[in-house]
Copies of this chain bind each other. A is one copy, B any other.
């Protein structure tokens, strides 16, 4: 009877919205966007079909907001990329740790994102943003290799960027069977060995 306060309503809205987003993410990643109906999402989120449209304009909009969150995370990550000139090696190790941890914390999420990243129609609007992120990440790596005076810093950066995405792809595909931790360590050692090699080159 007693009417809910503004704050209570806002709280309910926030929670319902998140429930929908969580359910949608899970189902999209699991069964694909087209094989997931609004009905199923509503069921998974324990709400009614109609309510979804109270929070999202359309199914496309729902997807868009999920991707946007991912892009935001990616932007944040790229935004914080800054090479500590005092200790570039440690800095890159930290970056790698962060990256892998991000992946491990929510593989479902990134599975969906990578899967989507190949869908032209959906990613069209995010293409620029994605390109910028890639650019930033590449610049960071290039800068790193250049500072350590490793030859062909751009090529090295591109190769390691590819290796990173490749590892992610393989991890997403093989999931628990993939030795993600081992690869992370080996990646670090591989980069470290580049340094040694350079020194030896002298």
Contact = CB atoms under 8 A, between A and B. Distances in A.
A165 interface: yes
Interface in A103-133: 111, 114-115, 117-121
Given A121-B31, A183-B155, A169 B163 contact: no
A163 B159 contact: yes
Contact of A170 (B115, B165, B173): B165
Interface in A146-202: 152, 155, 158-159, 161-167, 169-170, 172-173, 179, 182-183, 186-187, 190, 193, 197, 200
A65 interface: no
Chain A interface size, under 10 / 10 to 19 / 20 to 34 / 35 or more? 35 or more
A119 B32 contact: yes
The 5 closest A-B pairs by CB, nearest first: A162-B166, A166-B166, A34-B34, A115-B118, A165-B166
A120 B193 CA distance: 38
B31 A159 contact: no
A123 to B, nearest CB: 9
